[in-house]
Amino acid sequence: MTRTASLAIARTVGRLSRRLGRGGGTSAPGKVLLRMRPGAIEELAAGLPMGSLVISATNGKTTTARLVAACMGAEGWRVLGNPAGANLLSGVATALLDGSARRPRPQVGLFEVDEFALPEVARRLRPRVLVLMNLFRDQLDRYGELEAIADAWAAMVRDLPGDTVLVLNADDPAVAELGHGTTRRVVYFGIDDPSAALPELPHAADSTRCRHCAAPLAYDRVVLGHMGDWHCTACDRRRPAPDVRATRVTLDGTTGLDLEIATPDGPVSAPVAVPGMHNAYNATAAAAAAIALGIAPSRIGPALASADAAFGRAERVRVDGREAVLLLAKNPAGANVTVQTVLLDPDPLHLLVALNDRTADGHDVSWIWDVDYEPLLPRLERLTVTGDRAYDMALRFVYAGLDRERVTVLERPEAALDAALAALPDGRTLYVLPTYTAMLGLREVLVRRGAAEAFWHDS
Amino acid sequence: MAVLRVCHLYPGELNIYADRGNIAVLRRRLEWRGHTLAVTEAGIGDPIPADHDLYYLGGGQDRDQLVVARDLPATKADALRSAMADGAVLLAVCGGFQLAGHGYTAVDGSRMPGIGVLDADTVAGPTRLIGDLVIEAELEGERRRVVGFENHAGRTTLGPGSVPLGRVVSGHGNNGTDGGEGAVTGRAIGTYLHGPLLPKNPWLADTVIRWGLEHAGGAAVTLDPLPDDLEESAHAAAAARAGVRR
């Protein structure tokens, strides 16, 4: 089949998929296209004159992509991105397909890619810049084990073209190791604010052994999860000196944060509209990516300041006259930073926690027992739990020490949302902590009520 | 009021399947009845405290499990075997189950020896056995449904010195072929069920608590019933996920 015919058929699939209401057709057209033309990604990617930037991590892909998009937009570049949730090979192919029909043509690709799908996507896309941010324990039933992903990434990095620039998190030992001994250009980023330190490694900390020699790692400073100023207790591996480093991080409650970042090209200073230390990492990663692309620091700060939250990631909505914030929490590390962020609100807390166990969430819900929910207990005014596995979440809080009478279980998400909103005092915020598909379900309700925009409009 | 002394083995290495959830369940179900849990953690290089009632061994990533397997014979295996002979309880989950048996043979043929408290031996298989798991368990002649999740590459077969914890109703179990799940010898239990194991299976939790208290006090124990409404609902949801109703 000719290239033109393949593209036309695949586009028709996209239109049909959208008309049938199958979630915006963000993956199906690419799947069809790759079936007909296995080399489609390589061909279409060659049509992007400035190449592609690819972002992968367990946590923070979507928010970081949004921040990088703002930097690219500030340069006036026409950016082709993939929507969050369409981050496998088929999603990237669909985005490239859509981009090839756009006039004027997009100049640069910006793709967030699932950490498991990344090696195959990178092999085909041959990215100009590859941003790798973190590896946390996530959805073990789908991925096998953390070490296996780190091994797959290491093999991928060896096979990348020599001119691919790596942007690596110096504070994550498994990610930083990927830059060890390479001759290609590496831009390391990290957080260097001495006040951004936890008293100890949290329970869910992963990767506390050296990737090189398996000896235990030691930390002079822990910033988040297993990330911080680390060194191996046996061999010469230690945190590389970051090129792009956040020298001051000021958390501004549950609404945002202020950053001062030192870069080789000059300082960047910006308020960012997403809260919590994890978003300080995301914004620093975005700044490092922008530096790798040659964007001037004077443009990066205002661009970071102009970006708003991605859907479901600290997304603030007004529904039925009340305020709710959606904070996606899909694995222990992500949920831990979400808990820490919610605790920045000084008022008694109203929480809606939604736990699903579908494929995109991970079928194994045991991860909720690795989350440190305990600090919420003395601050909780009301807890509502919902989702396919609502009772598992109820047990998590009851065995943390919450009276079982104080947990409201409503398996249907819409009923749970209504009950939680109805119980919310005036002027307070409802914090919603959903897993991925639970977040999509709740957002559908919000879209129907005019409180949020459909996700495929959000790219 | 009694104190149950639990020794949590390798909490830093063997914790991948939310093993601390099992410890939390032991703690609360004791506290709700007026008893107390005392936990001693024993990591790499630490000697095993001998005077404990229940020893807990969780699951880990391959690399961590290898580190543990090197440490076990050096510092803990003998003490654990004599604690079992003395009537203490062992609860071993996933990788811990494999280590409680005779050992694990990896794909490359290398051998990771276990402590041999359970008559079970494990060989790596070509695929991981992953998914919801429901079994009909039997302990002391009582049969109950136990639910959870399994994720293991090892295929475990039992010798005559152990009986399975239960028969697979839905899922893979020890090896995906013989219908058995887990292993029991005396008061040592090994299982691939996590999720974690104990929150959704209060009967099993109370059985090991009772055994532990009996070891502590040297006399038979009857536990007061607890309100298990949320536990039973979570149990039913997990069973339904595995396609098992009622």
Dihedral (CA of A268, A269, A274, A278) sign: positive
Would residue B35 show up in a list of annotated catalytic residues for this protein?
Answer: no
Task: Determine what percent of chain A is predicted with pLDDT higher than 70.
Answer: 94
Are B61 and A367 in contact (CB < 8 Å)? no
| Averaged pLDDT, A415-437 | 96
Q: Report the complex ipTM.
A: 0.96
- Buried (b) or exposed (e) across B79-98, using 16+ Cβ within 10 A? bbeebbeeebbbbbbbbbbb
Q: Which residues in A lie closer than 8 A to residue B229 (C-beta atoms)?
A: 404
pLDDT at B143: 98
In terms of pLDDT, which residue wins out, A458 or B74?
B74
CA angle B116, B117, B119 (to 5 degrees): 70
Q: How far apart (Å, rounded) are the C-alpha atoms in residues A155 and B26?
A: 43
B7 is catalytic: no
Catalytic residue among B52, B194, B215, B235: B194
Question: Looking at the predicted structure, is the pLDDT value of residue A250 above 80?
Answer: yes
Residues A392, B17: C-beta atoms closer than 8 Å:
no
Q: What was the pLDDT predicted at A208? A: 77
Partners of B28 on chain A (C-beta within 8 Å) are 398-399, 401
Q: CB of B79 within 8 A of CB of B50?
A: yes
Give the per-residue pLDDT at B212.
98
Q: Measure CA A115 to chain center.
A: 11
Residue in A137, A208, A389 nearest the CB of B237: A389
Instruction: Mark yes or no for CB contact B234/A137 under 8 Å.
Output: no
Res. A2: pLDDT tops 70: yes
DSSP of A329-398, one letter per residue? --SHHHHHHHHHHHTTS-SPEEEEEE---STTT-S-GGGGGGS--GGGGGGEEEEEEESTTHHHHHHHHH
Per-residue confidence band for A15, with pLDDT thresholds at 50, 70 and 90? confident
Distance of CA A328 to the CA centre of its chain: 9
The one-letter amino acid code at A112 reads: E
How many secondary structure helices (H) and strands (E) does chain B include? 6, 12
Nearest to B151 among A140, A147, A369 (CB): A140
Can you give the pLDDT at residue A13? 82
Joined together, the tokens standing for residue B233 give 């609902």
On the question of a cis peptide bond just before residue B202, with omega within 30 degrees of 0, the verdict is no
Confidence of residue A206 (pLDDT cuts 50, 70, 90): low
Q: What is the mean pLDDT of residues A423-442?
A: 95
Dist. CA B233–CA B244, nearest whole Å: 14
Distance from CA of B33 to the nearest CA of A (A): 14
CB contact under 8 A, B151 and A370: no
Residues of A in contact with B130 (CB under 8 A): 141, 363
pTM of the model: 0.86
Backbone torsions φ then ψ of A93, nearest 5 degrees: -65, -40
- For residue A36, give the amino acid letter: M
* Confidence band of A253 (pLDDT split at 50, 70, 90): confident
Judged by DSSP in three states, A189 sits in strand
pLDDT at A140: 53
The one-letter amino acid at A265: D
Q: Which residues of A367-399 are buried (b: 16+ CB within 10 A; e: fewer)?
A: bbbbbebeebeeebebbbbbbbbbbbbbbbbbb
**Closest approach of chain B CAs to the CA of A203, in angstroms?**
9
pLDDT at B113: 92
Q: What is the mean pLDDT of each run of 10 residues along chain B (246 residues)?
A: 95 85 97 97 90 94 85 91 95 96 94 95 94 97 97 96 98 97 98 96 98 96 96 97 84
pLDDT tens, residue by residue, A319-348? 988 999 999 998 888 899 899 999 999 999
A394 with B230: Cβ contact below 8 A: yes
Contact A366 B128 (CB under 8 A): no
- Determine the pLDDT at residue A143: 47
Mean pLDDT computed over A432-446: 94
A136 touches chain B (CB under 8 A): no
Residue A90 has pLDDT above 70, yes or no: yes
What are B's interface residues with A at a Cβ cutoff of 8 A?
12, 15-18, 20-21, 24-25, 28, 61-64, 67, 128, 130-132, 149, 151, 194-196, 199-200, 227, 229-231, 233-234, 237-238, 241
Query: What are the two backbone dihedrals, phi and then psi, of residue A105, each rounded to the nearest 5 degrees?
Result: -65, 145
The CA-based dihedral angle spanning residues B146, B152, B153, B155, taken in that order and rounded to the nearest 10 degrees: -30
Strand partners, A322: A319
Segment A361-381 shows an average pLDDT of 94
The whole-number pLDDT of residue A239 equals: 98
* Domains of chain A, CATH where assigned: 39-306 (3.40.1190.10), 313-458 (3.90.190.20)
